[in-house]
Amino acid sequence: MAVLRHSAAFPFLLLLALLICIPALVSGVWLNDDGGGVEEEGEQFSEELFLKPLPDRKVLAHFHFQSTVPPSAANGRHHHLFPKAIAQLVQKFQIKELELSFTQGRWNYESWGGSDPISSTNAKPPGVELWALFDLPVMEIDATWKDLTHALSGLFCASINFLESSTSYFAPSWAFRSNVSNLRYGALPREAVCTENLTPWLKLLPCRDKAGLASLLDRPSIYKGYYHSQRLQLTSTKSTGIVLKQTLTVVLKPDVQRNSAHSSLDKSIQPSWSVSSMFKKNVTGLCVPAKTSRIFFELETNMVVELEKLGYGDSWSNSIFDLSPNPVRVFKESNPLPGRSNSIIYEFINYSEHEPLDLGMKWKLPFIWSCSQAPFHVSRFLMGSGNERGSIAISLQSTESNKEFLAKSHGCNVQVLIFQVVPWYVKVYYHTLQVFIDGKPQSVSDVIEKIQVSPSEDKLFPGTLELMLRYPCSVQSVALTLDFDKGFLHIDEYPPDANQGFDIPSALVTFPNFHSSRSYVEDNFSINSPLLLKFQEKNVVRSYTEALLVPLTTPDFSMPYNVITFTCTVLALFFGSLLNVLRRRVGEEERLLNSKGNTTRIRLIPLLLSKFSSKLKGRTDGTPKSSSLLGSKFLLILVAVLAVLWHYISN
Amino acid sequence: MAAEAGDGKPQPGRRPRSRLIVRLGALLVAHSVLVSVVCCIAGSIAFLLLPVLAKNTYVSENALMPGSANPMFSSHDVVEANRFLKEILDRGSAKVTGTEIAKLIGQHVVDVGAELYYHKFHPHGNQFHPLHFFSSITNTMEMQYNSSCTLFGLNSVGIIRAPRGDGKEAIVLVTPYNSQNIGQSEALSLGLAFSIFSLLSRVTWLAKDIVWLAADSRYGEYTAVDSWLKDYHNPLFLSNSGKIGTGVCFEENILHLLDQLKVKGPGYNIFKRAGTMAAALVFKVIEKKEKEERDSLTIYAEASNGQMPNLDLINIVHYLAVHRQGLRVKIGSMHSLLKAAWLKFVGEMLQLFGKLTKHLNPKWKFDITSAEYVEGTATLASSIYYQALGVPTGSHGAFRDYQVDAITLELSPRFSLNNENNRSAFLLRGGRLIEGVIRSVNNLLEKFHQSFFLYFLTAPHKFVSVGVYMIPFALLLAPLPIVSAALFSGNDNLGVSTEKVNQEPGCIGSSDTELRSGSWKWLQAAKVVFMIHLWAIIVSLLPYVLSQFPLTTPITLLLVWAALSICILLIFYLIFGACSTHCGWELLKSVMIAAASTGLSLMSVINFSTAQIGAMLIVPMCLLVQPLRKQMQAGVCRKAVLVICNLTIAVVGFPPVALLIAKGVCEDFGKAGVGAFWELAQLLWSWNSATYLYLLWIHLPCWVLCLHILLYPCIGRSSKA
A263-298 pLDDT tens trace: 555 667 888 898 888 998 888 778 888 888 889 998
Min Cα–Cα distance to chain B from A89, Å: 31
> Could you read off the pLDDT of A84-109 as tens digits, one per residue?
889 889 989 999 999 999 999 999 98
Q: Which of B233, B240, B275 comes nearest A384 by C-beta?
A: B233
| Euclidean distance between CA atoms A504 and A189, whole angstroms | 8
pLDDT of residue A73: 59
| Euclidean distance between CA atoms A359 and B193, whole angstroms | 40
pLDDT of residue A598: 56
> Could you read off the pLDDT of A104-162 as tens digits, one per residue?
999 998 889 888 888 888 899 999 999 999 988 888 999 999 999 999 999 999 999 99
DSSP state of B583: S
Residue ranges for chain B with pLDDT beneath 50:
1-14, 136-148, 240-250, 262-265, 496-516, 716-721
B273 touches chain A (CB under 8 A): yes
Q: Where are the beta strands (DSSP E) in A26-157?
A: 44-53, 59-69, 95-104, 127-134
Q: Which of A479, A551, A603 comes nearest B276 by C-beta?
A: A551
Q: Which of B13, B234, B402 comes nearest A598 by C-beta?
A: B13
> Could you read off the pLDDT of A412-423 as tens digits, one per residue?
788 899 999 999
B23 touches chain A (CB under 8 A): yes
| Residue B367, CA distances (Å) to B341, B350, B359, B374, B375 in order | 20, 8, 11, 14, 15
Cα atoms in the Cβ-side hemisphere of radius 13 Å centred on B176: 23
Alpha-carbon torsion (B365, B366, B368, B373), positive or negative: positive
pLDDT of residue B139: 43
Decide if B204 and A224 are in contact by the 8 Å CB cutoff. yes
- Phi-psi domain of B305 (left: phi exceeds 0; alpha: psi -120 through 50; beta: other): left
- Best CA proximity match to A149, nearest among A179, A176, A128: A128
Q: Which of B15, B163, B234 comes nearest A105 by C-beta?
A: B163
Is the separation of the CB atoms in B396 and B282 below 8 Å? yes
Decide if B163 and A226 are in contact by the 8 Å CB cutoff. yes
B76 touches chain A (CB under 8 A): no
> Could you give phi then psi for residue B339, rounded to 5 degrees?
-100, 0
- Give yes or no for residue A25 having a pLDDT over 70: no
- Phi-psi domain of A158 (left: phi exceeds 0; alpha: psi -120 through 50; beta: other): beta
Min Cα–Cα distance to chain A from B24, Å: 8
pLDDT band of A370, cuts 50, 70, 90 = confident
Min Cα–Cα distance to chain A from B294, Å: 36
Decide if B234 and A384 are in contact by the 8 Å CB cutoff. yes
- Give yes or no for residue A231 having a pLDDT over 80: yes
Q: Which of B136, B169, B235 comes nearest A549 by C-beta?
A: B169
Least confident of A376-380, A478-482, B125-129, B276-280: B125-129
Q: How many CB pairs under 8 A join A and B?
A: 126
- Give yes or no for residue A435 having a pLDDT over 50: yes
Alpha-carbon torsion (A191, A196, A198, A200), positive or negative: negative
Mean pLDDT of chain A: 81
Decide if B241 and A440 are in contact by the 8 Å CB cutoff. yes
pLDDT of residue B145: 45
B719 touches chain A (CB under 8 A): no
B645-651: long-range contacts, CB 8 A cutoff, minimum separation 24: B646/B710, B649/B617, B649/B620, B649/B621, B649/B624, B649/B625, B650/B621, B650/B625, B650/B703, B650/B706, B650/B707, B650/B710
Between these two residues, A95 and A602, which has the higher pLDDT value?
Answer: A95
Decide if A500 and B23 are in contact by the 8 Å CB cutoff. no
Residues of B in contact with A108 (CB under 8 A): 161
Structural domain boundaries of chain A?
Answer: 44-255+267-363, 376-414+425-443+468-506+546-557
pLDDT of residue B174: 95
pLDDT of residue B554: 75
pLDDT of residue A264: 56
Element (H, E) at B416: none
Residues of A in contact with B27 (CB under 8 A): 603-604
Q: Which residues contact residue B114 at a Cβ distance below 8 angstroms, ignoring those fewer than 6 apart?
A: B158, B159, B160, B161, B197, B201, B212
Q: Which of A105, A498, A601 comes nearest B16 by C-beta?
A: A601
| Euclidean distance between CA atoms B687 and B696, whole angstroms | 16
- Give yes or no for residue A410 having a pLDDT over 80: no
Give the pTM.
0.83
Between these two residues, B592 and A529, which has the higher pLDDT value?
Answer: B592
| Residue A272, CA distances (Å) to A140, A276, A362 in order | 54, 12, 5
- Give yes or no for residue A35 having a pLDDT over 50: no
Min Cα–Cα distance to chain A from B720, Å: 27
- Best CA proximity match to A302, nearest among A373, A212, A365, A390: A373
Is the separation of the CB atoms in A422 and A504 below 8 Å? yes
Min Cα–Cα distance to chain A from B445, Å: 6
Decide if B168 and A546 are in contact by the 8 Å CB cutoff. yes
